[in-house]
Amino acid sequence: MLAALLAALNGCAARGRTAPSPVPEPSMEALPRPALAAPTTVGFRATLPGQLDSIIERAIADSIAPGAAVAVGRYGRIVHVRGYGRTDWAVDAPPVTDSTLFDLASLTKVVATTTAAMLLEQDGLLHLDSTVAYYLPRFAAVDSAKRGITVRQLLTHTGGLEAYAPLYTDSLTRGRHQYLVQIAGRPLRSAPGTQVVYSDWDMVVLQLVIEEVAHEPLDWFVERRIARPLELRETVFRPQPPLVARTAVTANDTTRGGLLRGIVHDGNAWAIGGVSGHAGLFSSARDLASFAHMLLTGGRFAGTAFIAPDRVARWTAPQTAGSSRSLGWDTPSGDRSSAGRYFSARSYGHTGFTGTSIWSDPERGVFVVLLTNRVHSLGTTPADRVLTLRGAVADAVQQAILDAPLALRGN
């Protein structure tokens, strides 16, 4: 079981380790995408890939998901990138590879929507302390209490909007306009700026702000300003052939024709049209490794500044006292974090309902991407089992670093 495997890894850490001389950080200036390298070249134990293989293969054997993909990198090098299992439970389903596309679910919030907002702020076109109503007057036309909600509050989930509602079950609620009307008309859960409520609606509204400012749909902007410049060839909304054939099945949804392959799992994102600020993006482990690498190198790609380093640092730092939320991103919190126990407090990351996650630790220069289709488990995998899997992977990676002291977060 995963719990036993996690305990075994903990025991290895508790028995101590011998730290060799520090490994010099390789130059990353000329790397357009992180290059493959042996774990020992960037300070990892040589046994790390085997440990990760054991963790993921056990999870698939326990029916957490039919398949998974993992990418781990440090200092601009990928030390492990691999697919496991199959894209579906069918015995003849294609195997998962590092280029298999997964439904990212809420990773859309950070990879697409947050990054788009960062770029627009960098362009001087989006101002975080401007009100949403400044960009979308209809947003506060019905409820004056929404007039003071700012873009910053959307990003920190402090705008007071409710977390979620299954609006897609109403056949009349379809498309961006109807969702704006519905969200604008629904009561606030709390006064803006007073509570943190992780909300899908925050990112749906932010999508509409981005589209208003950029004068183009979110998927067009992501393709033009993020995917193409960063050479993310497998990062798309609404994948089309031939990418669909390389996409993991997300679930069997009889209300939408059966197996969902290349069709967004989230009902609201589907009803909006497959392109939403909170869900709908598909990507692969190798693409997300490149994306994580870009942020860890201070927003640089191929030797040029894609996003200014101070902006990356500011957006990935906690913003509100008592909350782990940064701007769009999350940071580790509590004893049971999807980042495990050793990612530093300066780390940032996010998870997705379908079984996806990404965590980066600037203090140690390391990132971990884990993609699964856990909602296509043999019976939906409980969230705590996925949390255990994420923690086991994160802890194995941190415990394998030899040139920096291992410390429990907060100690």
- Tell me, what DSSP letter sits at residue 111? I
pLDDT of residue 13 exceeding 80, the answer is no
What letter represents residue 254's amino acid?
Answer: T
Which DSSP string corresponds to 41-108? Answer: GGTB-TTHHHHHHHHHHHHHHTTS-SEEEEEEEETTEEEEEEEEEBSSSSTTSPBP-TT-BEE-GGGH
Structure tokens at 97: 């590879």
CB 183 within 8 A of CB 204: yes
Say if residues 365 and 78 touch (Cβ distance below 8 Å): no
- pLDDT for residue 71 is more than 70: yes
- The tally of CA atoms less than 13 A away on the side-chain side of residue 328 is 27
Please, what sign has the CA dihedral across residues 326, 401, 100, 54? negative
Query: pLDDT tens for residues 131-145?
Result: 999 999 999 999 999
| DSSP classification of residue 381 | P
Answer with the residue of higher pLDDT: 212 or 333.
212
DSSP β-bridge partners for residue 357: 351, 370
pLDDT of 381 reads 59
Residue 190's pLDDT band, with cuts at 50, 70 and 90, is very high
What is the residue-averaged pLDDT of the chain? Answer: 91
**For residue 31, pLDDT beyond 60:** no
In whole angstroms, what separates CA 264 from the centre of its chain? Answer: 15
Task: Give the residue with greater pLDDT, 12 vs 126.
Answer: 126
Burial class of residue 137 (count of CB atoms within 10 Å of its CB; 0-12, 13-18, 19+): exposed
Q: Structure pTM? A: 0.91
Contact 397/48 with Cβ under 8 angstroms?
yes
What's the confidence (pLDDT) of residue 32?
Answer: 60
Q: What is the DSSP letter of 365?
A: T
Q: How far apart are CA 312 and CA 293, in angstroms?
A: 12
Closest CA relative to residue 211, chosen from 143, 136, 261: 136
Q: How confident is the model at residue 29 (pLDDT cuts 50, 70, 90)?
A: very low
pLDDT band at residue 146 using 50, 70 and 90 as cut-offs = very high
More confident residue, 311 or 409: 311
Peptide bond into 242 cis (omega under 30): yes
pLDDT confidence of residue 174: 97
User: Domains along the chain?
Assistant: 2-9+23-100+284-399 (3.40.710.10), 115-219 (no CATH)
Q: pLDDT confidence of 322, banded at 50, 70, 90? A: confident
Q: What's the one-letter identity of residue 278?
A: H
Q: Dihedral of the CA atoms 281, 283, 289, 295 (nearest 10)?
A: -20
Kind of pairing, strands 35-36 and 77-85? parallel
CA 173 – CA 78 distance, rounded (Å): 43
